[in-house]
C-alpha cells in the first residue's frame, strides 16, 4: 500500500527539451499549413489591402506623387496586418472552443503554450506575406523607392506589429461564441482602421477624429510603419510601449478568461 502511494505521488518525469521544442515546432507548422492552405482565410487577407493599394496607392498615387504611394504603402500594410491577428486568431479560437477542440488539445501530451504560439506564428507568417505583396506592388507598379533598411523596417513592423492584434483577437475569441466572432471582429476591425487614419490620412479627417485616433493601437502601429518608410519623424519608443502594453493587457485578460471558463 505504501509502495503504491509513493509511486502515485511521485512526479511525472520531465519531457526532454528536444521533445518540448519538437512539440512547439509541430504545432506551429500545423497551424501555418492549415491556414495558408485555406483560400477562405488567405485570399481576403491578401485581396482587400492589395485592391485598396492598387486603386489608391498605384492609380491615384500617380497624380498625387511618390510620397502618397509611400504613405499608403505603410497604412495599407498595417490594415492588412491587423486581419490575420484578429480573424486568424480570434475567430479560430472561438470556433475551436465551441467545437471542443481546445479541450481536446489540452488533454494532449504537449506544452500548454504550443497551441497559442502556433497561432501567433501563423499570424506572423500571414502578416509577412501581406507586407511583401504590398512592397512588390509599391516598388513594381507605383515605383516607390525604398532603401533596404526601410524595407526591413517595414517588414519587421508588420511581422511584430500583428502581435497586439493577436492578443485582441484572442480576448474577443474567449468572450464571444464561434458564430458571433466574425461579426464582432468586423465591428472592431473596420471602425478601428478608419478611425486610425489607415484608409485616409488623418489631416483629411475632422479634428475630433484626429484627437481620438491615439486611443487605437492601429494608430500607433501606423506611426511606426510610417517611421519605417521615412514619413514620420516623431519618437517611436512611446508608440512601441503603447503597443506592448496593449498586447500584455489583452493577453493577460484572455489567459485569465481561458483558465476560468475554458
Q: How confident is the model at residue 142 (pLDDT cuts 50, 70, 90)?
A: confident
**If 0-12 CB within 10 Å is exposed, 13-18 middle and 19+ buried, where does residue 244 land?**
middle
**If 0-12 CB within 10 Å is exposed, 13-18 middle and 19+ buried, where does residue 155 land?**
middle
Average pLDDT, the chain: 83
Q: What is the predicted pLDDT for the residue at 209?
A: 85
- Residue 156 vs residue 143, higher pLDDT: 156
Q: What is the predicted pLDDT for the residue at 200?
A: 80
In this predicted model, what pLDDT tens digit does every residue of 178-222 receive, in sequence order? 788 888 888 999 999 999 988 888 888 888 888 999 999 999 999
Q: What is the predicted pLDDT for the residue at 8?
A: 45
How far, in Å, CA of 161 to CA of 79, rounded? 11
- Report, as an integer, the average pLDDT of 107-131: 81
Q: Is the pLDDT at 167 greater than 90, yes or no?
A: yes
Domain boundaries of the chain, sorted by first residue: 16-261
How far, in Å, CA of 204 to CA of 226, rounded? 17
- Report, as an integer, the average pLDDT of 91-113: 71
- Contact criterion met (CB below 8 Å) for 163 and 88: no
Residue % of the chain over a pLDDT of 70: 85
Q: How confident is the model at residue 4 (pLDDT cuts 50, 70, 90)?
A: very low
Q: How confident is the model at residue 82 (pLDDT cuts 50, 70, 90)?
A: very high
- Contact criterion met (CB below 8 Å) for 131 and 53: no
How far, in Å, CA of 89 to CA of 172, rounded? 9
- Report, as an integer, the average pLDDT of 234-256: 93
- Report, as an integer, the average pLDDT of 104-131: 79
Query: Count of residues for the chain?
Result: 262
Q: What is the predicted pLDDT for the residue at 77?
A: 94
How far, in Å, CA of 239 to CA of 222, rounded? 9
CB atoms within 10 A of CB 65: 10
In this predicted model, what pLDDT tens digit does every residue of 69-79 receive, in sequence order? 899 999 999 99
In this predicted model, what pLDDT tens digit does every residue of 231-244 receive, in sequence order? 988 899 999 999 99
How far, in Å, CA of 163 to CA of 248, rounded? 10
Amino acid at each position: 500500500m505504501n509502495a503504491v502511494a509513493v509511486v502515485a505521488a511521485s512526479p511525472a518525469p520531465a519531457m526532454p527539451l528536444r521533445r518540448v521544442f519538437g512539440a512547439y515546432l509541430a504545432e506551429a507548422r500545423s497551424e501555418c499549413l492549415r491556414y495558408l492552405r485555406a483560400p477562405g482565410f488567405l485570399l481576403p487577407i491578401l485581396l482587400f489591402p492589395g485592391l485598396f493599394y492598387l486603386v489608391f496607392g498605384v492609380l491615384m498615387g500617380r497624380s498625387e506623387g511618390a510620397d502618397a504611394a509611400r504613405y499608403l504603402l505603410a497604412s495599407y500594410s498595417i490594415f492588412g496586418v491587423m486581419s490575420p491577428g484578429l480573424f486568424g486568431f480570434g475567430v479560430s479560437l472561438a470556433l475551436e472552443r465551441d467545437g471542443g477542440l481546445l479541450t481536446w488539445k489540452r488533454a494532449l501530451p504537449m506544452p500548454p503554450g504550443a497551441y497559442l504560439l502556433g497561432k501567433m506564428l501563423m499570424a506572423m507568417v500571414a502578416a509577412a506575406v501581406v507586407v511583401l505583396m504590398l512592397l512588390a506592388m509599391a516598388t513594381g507598379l507605383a515605383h516607390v523607392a525604398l532603401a533596404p533598411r526601410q524595407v526591413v523596417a517595414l517588414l519587421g513592423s508588420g511581422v511584430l506589429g500583428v502581435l497586439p492584434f493577436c492578443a485582441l483577437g484572442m480576448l474577443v475569441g474567449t468572450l464571444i461564441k464561434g458564430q458571433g466572432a466574425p461579426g464582432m471582429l468586423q465591428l472592431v476591425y473596420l471602425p478601428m482602421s478608419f478611425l486610425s487614419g489607415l484608409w485616409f490620412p488623418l489631416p483629411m479627417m475632422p479634428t475630433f477624429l484626429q484627437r481620438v485616433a491615439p486611443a487605437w493601437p492601429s494608430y500607433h502601429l501606423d506611426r511606426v510603419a510610417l517611421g519605417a518608410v521615412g514619413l514620420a519623424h516623431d519618437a517611436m519608443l512611446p508608440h512601441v510601449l503603447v503597443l506592448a502594453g496593449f498586447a500584455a493587457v489583452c493577453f493577460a485578460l484572455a489567459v485569465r478568461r481561458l483558465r476560468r471558463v475554458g
